[in-house]
Amino acid sequence: MKILIVDDQPDARYLLQVLLTGHGHDVAVTTNGQEALDYARANPPHLIISDILMPIMDGFRLCREIRQDSILKDTIFIFYTATYTQQSDADFAMKIGADDFIRKPAEPSDFMARIEAVVFNASHAAKKPHSNPENETEVLRLYNERLVAKLEKRSLDLQKQIFERESAERSLREAYEIIRLSPAVAFLWRNVEGWPVDYVSDNVETVFGYSVEEMQSGNVPFAAWIHPDDLDRVSGEVAAGSLDPQSPAFNHLPYRVITKRGITKWVDDRTVVRRDKSGTITHYQGILIDVSDRIEAEQAKTALEAQLRHTQKLESIGTLASGVAHEINNPLTGIINYADLIQRRIEDADLKEYAHGIMEEGDRIAKIVRSLLSFARQDTDAHSPADLRDIIDASLALVEAQLKKDRISLLVDVPKDLPRVRCRSQQIQQVIVNLLINARDALNLKYPEYDANKSIRIVAHPITKNDGSWVRTTVEDHGTGIPADVIASIFDPFFTTKPREKGTGLGLSVSFGIVREHHGELTVDSIPGVGTSFHMDLQATQS
């Protein structure tokens, strides 16, 4: 079907053209009513889809001219607009002969359904002459009435801007941001190696960082910013979607692109294959929609489910540990006491040393059991005074074996007279464990094998802050460091630089929330390639 689009907005024209072409229609575009009228008289279309507010000749006048033309009078005419949205506007449009009045924006599926319904009715219903009111005075009155209504509304808007200037400016900025940050970007790229871009919509810089000029210069072909891990799959989908000339459009599975700033985004892509008269593919055109929020939400759901399983596992561990602690601690106490008796009652130096070793290992087992119980237990108690030294020791007991396995040395500087802090001990222990695990991962990434600099340093000391007494605990490593463009996001939920199988992006965000709930602060200093220091500040208590 031959369709004529009339709209003075380039992006609106292009998006409609892509949509209608993708459904197999022969589409022409014009920019105003006069241009459309001239084109229609030379190339009569089956259907005209027109905006209303346009220069030279608006859509209302175009509709009347079409209905008064002896050749074009039966052409199907549909208004598609966001400018005139009152019911009286739609009534006037139908009065002067329009077949339908569709308000922008419409979902593509809904839009096509309306178009097909109008065309079907026009083709199968009994032929009736389109409305063409003979009372010119009445038509002009209604036309002027609509214009006056719009002018009155505009006048009220201007008054509001005068009296509420700051609010209006803020609203305008927000509206501009909504448009500027629109996630849908239209593309047209050539079917040659790399897919160089011939056309891209203006919002490409907002969504993907590249300017229109950069994209259309040929220096940034479309394939260059598809994520390397997804490029083969996308290429395969393009090849498969290009096989059948009768199916000019196909959808990609969501894939990743890399913006100019190096940020990875997920996109949905519906591609239309364009061929020349010989059937050779010349271009691909498509609309990319940034679906990062949706994909991240799905990933977040998965991560939350994993966190729930982790929480349930901790609850199970806590239940199990509570059940067996008594059975473990009783014989363990006996072992330690008997070893102490042996050490005190025998004279043999070797046996004394063996007994001492039994006592040390027994104490270590007891410490591990206590730490495991503390870490796994759901802490619902109110904040109470606690010794940070004990919390740090309990945290180290949980990760010390792993640090030794990774050949990471540990330096601990925590004075015995450190002021106590009011907290939930188990939660602060969780924060310290998270920081230690992150430090371990950074060191293992930088030093896969042993290195003298492969160490973690834990320091705690009193500080004065906001005219009060605080205690600062620092976990410091000499790992890979954190890039400057990443450090601002590290406390965001689900943000992670680790591979998906190694991190959920929840550790630091949860830790940040815990410290904030304690009215404390968790901050970070980092130099890429040198190392990172996390500082946890908690208020000291006099109790």
425-471 residue pLDDT tens: 888 998 999 999 999 999 999 999 999 999 999 999 999 987 789 99
From the list 530, 537, 490, the residue with the least C-alpha distance to 514 is 537
Q: Are residues 412 and 533 located together in one domain of the fold? A: yes
| Domain shared by 436 and 527, yes or no | yes
Question: Percent of the chain beyond pLDDT 70?
Answer: 80
Query: Are 408 and 515 within one domain?
Result: yes
Give one DSSP letter per residue of 109-160, joined into a string.
Answer: HHHHHHHHHHHHHHHHSPP-PPP--S-HHHHHHHHHHHHHHHHHHHHHHHHH
The CA distance from 285 to 272, in Å, is 5
Contact 35, 60 (CB under 8 A): no
Q: Are 442 and 475 in contact (CB under 8 A)?
A: no
* pLDDT score of 179: 46
Domain membership of residue 165 (yes or no) is no
Q: Which residues contact 43 (CB under 8 A, 6 or more apart)?
A: 2, 28
Same domain, 316 and 404: no
| pLDDT surpassing 60 at residue 107 | yes
Residues 461 and 481 in one domain: yes
Could you tell me the CATH number of the domain that includes residue 338? 1.10.287
CB 213 within 8 A of CB 205: no
What's 210's domain CATH number?
Answer: 3.30.450.20
Last residue of a domain, one of 290, 305, 339: 290
One domain, residues 347 and 418:
no
Q: 429 and 358: one domain?
A: no
Q: Is the pLDDT of residue 345 over 80?
A: yes
How many whole angstroms separate alpha carbon 58 and alpha carbon 52?
5
Instruction: With respect to residue 146, please indicate whether it lies within any of the assigned structural domains.
Output: no
User: Looking at 132, 157, 189, which one is the last position of a domain?
Assistant: 132
User: Would 70 be classed as within a structural domain?
Assistant: yes
Assess whether 429 and 512 both reside in one domain: yes
Q: Are 16 and 42 in contact (CB under 8 A)?
A: no
> In which band, very low, low, confident or very high, does the pLDDT at 511 lie, cut at 50, 70 and 90?
confident
Q: What pLDDT band is residue 33 in, cutting at 50, 70 and 90? A: very high
Average of pLDDT values for 148-153? 58
Is 46 within a domain?
yes
Give residue-wise pLDDT tens across range 48-57.
Answer: 999 988 888 8
Residues 495 and 489: their CA atoms lie apart, in Å, by: 7
Q: What radius of gyration, in Å, describes the C-alpha atoms of the chain?
A: 35
CA distance 231 to 225: 9
**Domain match, 283 and 322 both:** no
Phi-psi category of 494—alpha, beta or left, where left has phi over 0 and alpha has psi -120 to 50? Answer: left
Determine, yes or no, domain membership for 529. Answer: yes
Which residue(s) pair with 211 in the sheet? none
| Pair 404, 537 in one domain | yes
534 CB neighbour count, 10 Å cutoff: 24
Greater model confidence, 362 or 472: 472
In a domain, 390, yes or no: no
3-state DSSP call for residue 257? strand
CATH classification of the domain holding 440: 3.30.565.10
Structural domain count, the chain: 4
Q: Is the pLDDT of residue 279 over 70?
A: yes
Cα–Cα nearest to 61, from 12, 10, 96, 103:
96
* Claim to verify: residue 360 and residue 271 sit in the same structural domain: no
pTM of the full predicted structure? Answer: 0.37
Cβ-Cβ contacts under 8 Å for 153 (sequence gap 6 or more): none
Q: Quick check: 337 pLDDT over 80?
A: yes
Dihedral in degrees, nearest 10, Cα atoms 115, 117, 120, 121:
-120
Residue 108 lies in a domain: yes
Is 63 domain-assigned? Answer: yes
The enclosing domain of 123 has a CATH number of: 3.40.50.2300
Check whether residue 345 and residue 409 sit in a common domain.
Answer: no
Mean pLDDT, rounded, of the chain: 83
Question: What residues are paired with 502 via a beta bridge?
Answer: none
For residues 153 and 536, which has the higher predicted lDDT (pLDDT)?
536
Q: Are 50 and 31 in contact (CB under 8 A)?
A: no
Domain with 229 in it:
181-290
Of 290, 306, 323, which closes a domain? 290
Which burial class, exposed, middle or buried, applies to 39 when counting CB atoms under 10 A from its CB (0-12, 13-18, 19+)?
middle
Residue type at 297?
A
